[in-house]
C-alpha cells in the first residue's frame, strides 16, 4: 500500500470532515503544499484556489511577510494565558482594529473562531440589558436565510427552517425572525422589504436584546446580496425601539465586498461587530468581537461587574502577530483596485451562465461571484470535474460560487470562470 492510499484509508476510517458522514463516498484530495493562489495535491496536480480556504486566505498561501511574522513571534512565545497577563501583539492588534472599524467601536474581545465571536456578541447584548435592569430583553431578532455559525447560540439565530441547523430546532433557544429583504444590492429598499422586521420590533421590542444580521451579504445561508438602504433602515429601527445592532462581518470583513467592512456600503455603525476568517489572512484561527464604550462600561458596572467569558487561547500571541502582519499587508496593498478588477472579471466570466436553463441567477459583488442553480448540485459528480479542470471550487446546495484570494491574476480568474461555465454546461446536458 502506498503512502497516499494509506493516508486516504486512515482519513476515511478515522477523520470526520465538516458537514460529512463517516464512510462517505465523496472524494477528498490530499494536499502537499500551497503557494500563492495554487494548491498542490499529493499526486502532483495543481489547482487554482477559488475559495480562499472558506473565504479567509485573502493573500493566498505562503506569503513571505506573514511567514516571517510567525517565525519572529515563535522566538518569543507561541502562547501565554490572557487572564491577568497581556502582550504587545494583542494590544497592537486591538488598536489597529479599533482604528479600522466604524465608530463607536472602541473595545476588542479576542476569541478563537467566528462562531464564538457571535456567541460573545450575544452574551454582551444579554449582559448589557441585565445590567440596565431590563432582563426581559433576552431574545434576538434576525432575518431568514442567514447563517451565523455552528455553536448553539449562533445556530439559534441562523435560519430556523431552511438553514443547516433545523435538526436542532427543538433544542435551541427560540428567537424572533423576519423575512429577508428581496431588494438587490443596487435596488431601493421598499416598504415590503422592511415591514416584516418592523412588525417584529413593534410587537416584541420589549423582549429583544439585539438584531443580528450579516450586512449586505448573507453568506452560507444563500449568498444573497441586499440593498444598503435596508441596512440603513435597520439602524434607524434599532435606535427607535431601543435595541442593539450586532453585525456579523465574519465573511465580509477586510475588503471582500469592495469596502473594508460591508456596513460601510450603508454608512452605518453597529453597536457590536463580529470579525473572523480573513483576520489572520487564513493562517490561524482567530476572531474578535468589538463593541462601544457604552456597552462595555454598562456590562462592567452591572452585576456581576465583569463580562462572563474567557477562552483558553484568547488573544493567542502567535495568532495576533499573524493578524497584525495580515492587516498591514492588506492596507499597504492596492486592495481596492484588486477587488474592482476581480469584480469586473467575475461579471464578464460568469455572465454566459445566464444562458443555461439550469441557472436561476448570476450575481457578483466585489470579490464574490455566485451562480445559483434551480436544483442542488451532485457533489459526487461535480467536484471531480472541477479537479480535472485544475481548479478548487466547493459548491454547496444549489450554489456554485467563487471567493478567490485578492492576489489572483486575470488569467487565473479566467480559468476559474471558464471552469464554472463549462461544467454547468456539461451537467445541464
Q: What is the largest CA-CA distance in the chain?
A: 67
Query: Phi, psi at residue 392, to the nearest 5°?
Result: -110, 105
H or E element, residue 291: strand 287-292
pLDDT tens profile 297-355 = 999 999 999 999 999 999 999 999 999 999 999 999 999 999 999 999 999 999 999 99
Q: Can you give the pLDDT at residue 429?
A: 62
Q: Which is nearest to 281 in space by CA: 37, 35, 92, 61? A: 61
Q: Are 418 and 388 in contact (CB under 8 A)?
A: no
Q: Is 333 within 8 Å of 406 (Cβ atoms)? A: yes
Sheet of 31-35, strand order: 31-35, 38-41, 46-49, 391-392
Residue 325 CA to residue 93 CA, distance in Å, equals 10
Neighbours of 425 (CB within 10 A): 14
Rounded to 5 degrees, what angle do the CA atoms 356, 357, 361 make? 75
Within the chain, all domains assigned CATH 3.90.1150.10 are found at 3-62+334-428
Q: Give yes or no: 40 in active site.
A: no
Name the CATH architecture for the domain at 3-62+334-428. Answer: Alpha-Beta Complex (3.90)
Please, are residues 183 and 193 in contact by the beta-carbon 8 Å criterion? yes
Pull the grid cell for residue 14. 478515522
- Ramachandran angles phi, psi of 261, nearest 5°: -130, 140
Which residue matches cell numbers 497516499? Answer: 4
C-beta atoms surrounding 360 within 10 Å: 14
Q: Which residue of the set 277, 283, 401, 406 is catalytic?
A: 277
Indicate if 248 belongs to the active site: yes
> Given this model, what pLDDT does residue 169 score?
86
| Mean pLDDT per 10-residue section of the chain, whose length is 429 residues | 89 92 86 98 97 98 98 98 98 98 97 97 98 98 97 96 82 96 97 98 98 97 97 98 98 98 98 98 98 98 95 97 98 98 98 97 98 95 96 96 98 98 89
How far is it, in rounded angstroms, from Cα 296 to Cα 11? 45
Q: How far is CA 159 from CA 148, 165, 175, 235, in A?
A: 9, 8, 10, 21
Q: Where in the chain is the domain with CATH 3.40.640.10?
A: 67-331
Q: Of 49, 112, 248, 271, which residue is the catalytic one?
A: 248
Options 61, 128, 147, 401, the catalytic residue: 147
Give the relative orientation of helices 114-131 and 293-301 as an angle to the nearest 10 degrees: 60
Q: Please spell the DSSP secondary structure of 202-226, one letter per residue.
A: HHHGGGEEEEEE-SSEE-TTT-EE-
**What is the C-alpha to C-alpha distance for residues 281 and 124, in angstroms, rounded to an integer?**
26
Report strand pairing: 244-248 vs 272-275: parallel
Q: Is 271 a catalytic residue?
A: no
Contact 50, 392 (CB under 8 A): yes
User: What is the rounded CA–CA span in Å between residue 154 and residue 118?
Assistant: 6
Q: Which long-range contacts (CB under 8 A, 24 or more apart) does 195-204 make?
A: 197/141, 197/143, 197/234, 197/237, 198/237, 200/141, 200/176, 201/141, 201/237, 201/240, 201/241, 201/243, 202/241, 204/139, 204/141, 204/176
Spatial CA neighbour of 296 closest among 121, 113, 94, 148: 121
Cβ count near 161 (within 10 Å): 10
Total Cβ atoms within 10 A of residue 15: 11
C-alpha cell at 64: 513571505
Say if CB 217 and CB 262 are below 8 A apart. yes
pLDDT at 22: 87
- Give the integer Cα–Cα distance in Å for 47 and 129: 50
Q: What are phi and psi of 6, to 5 degrees?
A: -65, -40
Provide the 3-class DSSP secondary structure of residue 111.
strand
pLDDT of residue 26: 79
User: Which CATH code for domain 67-331?
Assistant: 3.40.640.10
Catalytic position from the list 14, 19, 25, 337: 19
Q: Which residues contact 14 (CB under 8 A, 6 or more apart)?
A: none
Q: What is the mean pLDDT of the chain?
A: 96
From the list 300, 248, 314, 310, the residue with the least C-alpha distance to 127 is 300
pLDDT tens digits for 215-246?
Answer: 999 999 999 999 999 999 999 999 999 999 99
Amino acid at each position: 500500500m502506498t503512502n497516499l492510499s494509506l493516508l486516504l484509508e486512515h482519513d476515511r476510517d478515522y477523520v470526520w470532515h465538516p458537514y460529512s458522514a463517516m464512510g462517505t463516498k465523496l472524494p477528498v484530495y490530499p494536499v502537499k503544499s500551497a503557494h500563492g493562489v495554487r494548491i498542490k495535491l499529493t499526486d502532483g496536480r495543481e489547482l487554482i484556489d477559488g475559495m480562499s480556504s472558506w473565504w479567509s486566505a485573502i493573500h493566498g498561501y505562503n506569503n513571505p511577510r506573514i511567514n516571517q511574522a510567525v517565525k519572529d513571534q515563535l522566538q518569543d512565545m507561541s502562547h501565554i494565558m490572557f487572564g491577568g497577563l497581556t502582550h504587545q501583539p494583542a494590544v497592537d492588534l486591538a488598536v489597529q482594529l479599533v482604528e479600522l472599524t466604524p465608530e463607536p467601536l472602541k473595545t476588542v474581545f479576542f476569541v478563537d473562531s467566528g462562531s464564538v465571536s457571535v456567541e460573545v456578541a450575544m452574551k454582551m447584548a444579554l449582559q448589557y440589558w441585565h445590567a440596565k435592569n431590563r432582563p426581559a430583553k433576552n431574545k434576538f431578532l434576525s432575518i431568514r436565510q442567514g447563517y451565523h455559525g455552528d455553536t448553539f447560540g449562533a445556530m439559534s439565530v441562523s435560519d430556523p427552517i431552511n438553514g443547516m441547523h433545523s435538526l436542532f430546532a427543538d433544542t435551541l433557544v427560540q428567537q424572533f425572525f423576519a423575512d429577508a429583504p428581496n431588494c438587490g444590492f443596487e435596488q431601493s429598499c421598499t416598504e415590503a422589504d422592511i415591514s416584516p422586521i418592523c412588525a417584529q420590533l413593534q410587537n416584541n421590542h420589549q423582549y429583544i436584546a439585539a438584531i443580528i444580521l450579516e450586512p449586505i451579504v448573507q453568506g452560507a445561508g444563500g449568498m444573497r446580496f441586499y440593498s444598503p438602504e435596508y441596512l440603513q433602515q435597520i439602524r434607524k429601527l434599532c435606535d427607535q425601539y431601543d435595541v442593539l445592532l450586532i453585525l456579523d462581518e465574519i465573511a465580509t470583513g477586510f475588503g471582500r465586498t469592495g469596502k473594508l467592512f460591508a456596513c460601510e456600503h450603508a454608512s452605518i455603525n453597529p453597536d457590536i461587530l463580529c470579525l473572523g476568517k480573513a483576520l489572520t489572512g487564513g493562517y490561524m484561527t482567530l476572531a474578535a468581537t468589538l463593541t462601544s464604550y457604552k456597552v462595555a462600561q454598562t456590562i462592567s458596572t452591572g452585576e456581576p461587574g465583569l463580562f462572563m467569558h474567557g477562552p483558553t487561547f484568547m488573544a493567542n500571541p502567535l495568532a495576533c502577530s499573524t493578524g497584525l502582519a495580515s492587516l498591514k499587508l492588506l492596507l499597504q496593498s492596492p486592495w481596492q483596485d484588486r477587488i474592482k478588477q476581480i469584480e469586473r472579471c467575475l461579471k464578464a466570466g460568469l455572465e454566459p451562465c445566464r444562458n443555461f436553463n439550469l441557472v436561476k441567477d448570476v450575481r457578483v459583488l466585489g470579490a464574490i461571484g455566485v451562480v445559483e442553480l434551480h436544483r442542488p448540485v451532485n457533489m459526487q459528480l461535480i467536484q471531480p470535474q472541477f479537479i480535472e479542470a485544475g481548479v478548487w471550487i466547493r459548491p454547496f446546495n444549489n450554489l456554485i460560487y467563487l471567493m478567490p484570494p485578492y492576489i489572483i491574476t486575470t488569467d487565473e480568474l479566467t480559468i476559474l470562470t471558464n471552469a464554472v461555465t463549462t461544467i454547468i454546461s456539461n451537467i445541464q446536458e
